[in-house]
Amino acid sequence: MPIKENIEHVKQLKAKAAEKSGRTGEDVLLVAVTKLHDVDEINEAIDCGITDIGENKVQEIMNKYDRVKPVRWHLIGHLQTNKVKYIIDKVAMIHSVDSLKLAEEIDKRASQHGLTMDILIQVNSAMEESKFGITTEETGQMIQDILANCPNVRIRGLMCIAPFEDNPQDAKVYFEEVKKLYDEYGKIDHPNLDFKYLSMGMSNDFEVAIEAGSNLIRVGTMIFGARDYSKKQGE
């Protein structure tokens, strides 16, 4: 199916899942994940109404940034501190903050550019060793540490990557756990905390994630098709 039809299909599924949790499809932001997809495909998606795109790697943002039509960029993959400087003025939000050290580097670079960077804290609720993110128990302290030390960082919510399950419903418990944290810590009264985004759900499990409370989904394969991992980054 062409990209336009794929996007419409995802939006329909998004709306159905949102209705199950008493919301509408408009309440859930669709971020199109463009990892290893070329600029022509990305621009086609933007022409079809995509407003936000997500990249896993800094290098791909750098390679594509000047050739992609106006859009909001999200850094959704693991971010090394030494690469923050390259994307600090290019992305609207960083989803994968999992240490105070990284938050402090984002704060430093944001200050140099005279901006406040929106971030999400990545929570590894399943405690998978193969994934980045902090534990649910560490989340409260991480929020307090960032608020105390990073005046140029604004915490906009939480991000979670659930384990891949043959039956996506089996991942729901991990999403629900992070939703509880989102509801709890979103009540904190602080000028640099404004919870708006609960980033949970990808192509294989976004419907379940939405049912559990997600309001931002990161979808690539269902929009662009399977990735060609033989491609070089950013081609």
In order along its 235 residues, the chain shows pLDDT tens digits of 699 999 999 999 999 999 999 999 999 999 999 998 999 999 999 999 999 999 999 999 999 999 999 999 999 999 999 999 999 999 999 999 999 999 999 999 999 999 999 999 999 876 766 678 999 999 999 999 999 999 999 999 999 988 888 888 988 999 999 999 999 999 999 999 999 999 999 999 999 999 999 999 999 999 998 867 666 554 4
Instruction: Give the per-residue pLDDT at 230.
Output: 64
Classify residue 229: in a domain, yes or no.
no
Q: pTM here?
A: 0.94
Question: Mapping DSSP to helix (H, G, I), strand (E, B) and coil, where does residue 2 land?
Answer: coil
C-alpha torsion angle, residues 94, 96, 98, 102 (rounded to 10): -40
Nearest CA among 118, 206, 111 for reference residue 158: 118
**Residue 201 lies inside a defined structural domain of this protein:** yes
Number of structural domains, the chain? 1
Asked whether residue 120 is assigned to any structural domain, the reply reads: yes
Rounded distance between C-alpha atoms, residue 30 and residue 64, angstroms: 20
230 in a structural domain: no
pLDDT attached to residue 168? 85
**Cβ-based neighbours of 96, under 8 Å, separated by 6 or more:** 75, 76, 77, 78, 79, 120, 122, 132, 133, 159
pLDDT at residue 53, as a whole number: 98
Residues 6+ apart with CB under 8 A from 32: 7, 42, 45, 50, 52, 53, 54, 219, 220, 223, 224
Going from the C-alpha of 198 to that of each of 45, 86, 97, the distances in angstroms are: 23, 25, 14
pLDDT for position 132? 81
Is residue 87 a part of any domain in this protein?
yes
User: Does residue 233 lie within any of the structural domains?
Assistant: no
Residue 129's pLDDT is what? 67
- Domain membership of residue 95 as a residue range: 3-224
32 found inside a domain: yes
| Structure confidence at residue 166 (pLDDT) | 84
Give the CATH number, domain containing residue 155. 3.20.20.10
